[in-house]
A and B are shown apart, each in its own frame.
Chain A
């Protein structure tokens, strides 16, 4: 259904900042380039990133909004099964 995550780190600045919250769901998961997703990554654990590319076998390439983010190259292609949910709402600190 819905899951709430607390954001840690600044790789998604300016979209998300440390201590913001995101509300995610797998219900609306039809990945599209540009969407924010929470992902269970084999190396970087649970991360929130933006989909930058989708290949012909439905694998996703991710990127952070902050240029200092872990690069797409290092994160590598991920499968749809690794996506915990699409970010539906961002709840930012005022």
Chain B
């Protein structure tokens, strides 16, 4: 009765709406962003190494170094965020049943991405990419999508797990 009264009042006065919408965007999750960020970190580490090989850094080189380091930080944060969202929002009990090591793997990625922020060792970036690839493989398993590995067709030309779509 009270509801029908409010409905009539709503037609007359238009109450403000309060949204209880579900996930936006609906169910769109993909580890590709994390993989590209991990590749980018390796590329940035390579470029930092190129500067390291120089005898002396010009002011322009120093500015370039600052930019490369800032980008490395940003992409390591992006890896963490993308993986965390898939793990925290998409993965639920059915996915955890399929991927018993999901928690440990996610935590390893968080730690390794932090190491990539702290260091300029290329091997750190490669390890991060390997972990993210493993995560991607598990993600596509939960979607029932087969995967394959291929070398990324751009620098740093490292091995990436791709979904077999179509």
Question: Which A residues contact B (CB, under 8 angstroms)?
Answer: 3-12, 16, 18-22, 38, 44-49, 64, 66-71, 73-74, 91-94
Contacts and interface: CB of A to CB of B under 8 A. Distances in A.
Interface of B: 1-3, 6-7, 9-10, 15-24, 84-85, 88-89, 92
A70 B26 CA distance: 9
Contact of B3 (A9, A45, A92): A92
Contact of A9 (B20, B85, B89): B20
Given A3-B16, A71-B89, A73-B88, A21 B22 contact: no
Given A21-B15, A71-B89, A64 B84 contact: no
A70 B6 contact: no
A5 B22 contact: no
* Most chain B CB neighbours (cut-off 10 Å) among A10, A21, A45, A48: A21
Nearest to A16: B20
Contact of B18 (A8, A67, A93, A94): A8
A21 B3 contact: yes
A44 B22 contact: no
Contacts of A19: 7
Given A68-B22, A69-B23, A73-B89, A5 B3 contact: no
A67 B92 contact: yes
A5 B18 contact: yes
B22 A8 contact: no
B88 A22 contact: no
A94 B4 CA distance: 9
B20 A10 contact: yes
